[in-house]
Amino acid sequence: MPSRLLPPDFFIDAPDRVARGLLGKLLVRKPDSPEDETTVGRIVEVEAYFGVGDAAAHACSGKTARNAVLFGPPGRAYVYLIYGMHYCLNISCEPEGIAGCVLLRALEPIAGMATMTRRRGLRNYASPRLLASGPGRLCQAMGITRADHNGLGVTDAASVLTVVEDDYLLPQIDVTPRIGIQKAAERLLRFSIQGSRFVSKG
């Protein structure tokens, strides 16, 4: 499988534009140990979060210890714990100093399904739909935690977590409101691949 990394400047752009651009790309997670496979998933659902002016964004009221990555360089993983038990993976965008990011909400599993199944604690992968459909499931399937992956650059060849190009004809994109938020809930900043069975229900 050819591995064409995204150029760093791919992420120097507004969150909604980066979000659209990420659809159809592949998220690649290298193994930590010999018994792990490389796990790969096609990005089928994302949400855009701005900084100042976006009441639903973590960065909305300025830089804090938790969200510091968002104010740093673009193309870095921002990982946080939600509801005391699930992680969510975002990728920072905009130039350094400006907080913007894209939340990765769902993947279509492409490779390493046995490892994803084990990480998820499922019996079998007869139903790959449940492997990485939803931000919490996605992180669990890819073995992503805040302690290990927050701040990692996804355009570094050496990184355990990268986004790569793929020969893939992108179908129509659905544009809908973001899921699970209370504020700014009417903004149309959720983007998903139309017709994909791997998009989360929300």
List of residues contacting DNA (CB under 7 A) = 47, 49, 56-59, 61, 64-67, 78, 80-86, 88, 90, 101, 103, 120, 130, 134-138, 178-183, 200
**140-178 burial: b if 16+ Cβ within 10 Å, else e:** bbbbbebeebbebbbbeeebbbbbbebeeeeeeebeeeb
CB of 117 to DNA, least distance (A): 11
Element (H, E) at 15: helix 15-22
Residue given tokens 């938020």 in the structure block:
181
Which CB, 28 or 46, lies closer to DNA?
Answer: 46
CB of 8 to DNA, least distance (A): 21
CB of 12 to DNA, least distance (A): 18
Which CB, 123 or 157, lies closer to DNA?
Answer: 123
Query: Alpha-carbon distance 113 to 23, whole Å?
Result: 20
Which CB, 19 or 28, lies closer to DNA?
Answer: 19
Which CB, 12 or 130, lies closer to DNA?
Answer: 130
Contact 69, 199 (CB under 8 A): no
CB of 58 to DNA, least distance (A): 4
CB of 84 to DNA, least distance (A): 3
- Name the burial class of residue 20, with classes exposed (0-12), middle (13-18) and buried (19+) by CB atoms within 10 angstroms of its CB: middle
Which CB, 64 or 194, lies closer to DNA?
Answer: 64
Which CB, 7 or 95, lies closer to DNA?
Answer: 95
DSSP 101-149: EEEEEEEEEEE-HHHHHHHHT-S--S-GGGTSBSHHHHHHHHT--HHHH
CB of 37 to DNA, least distance (A): 20
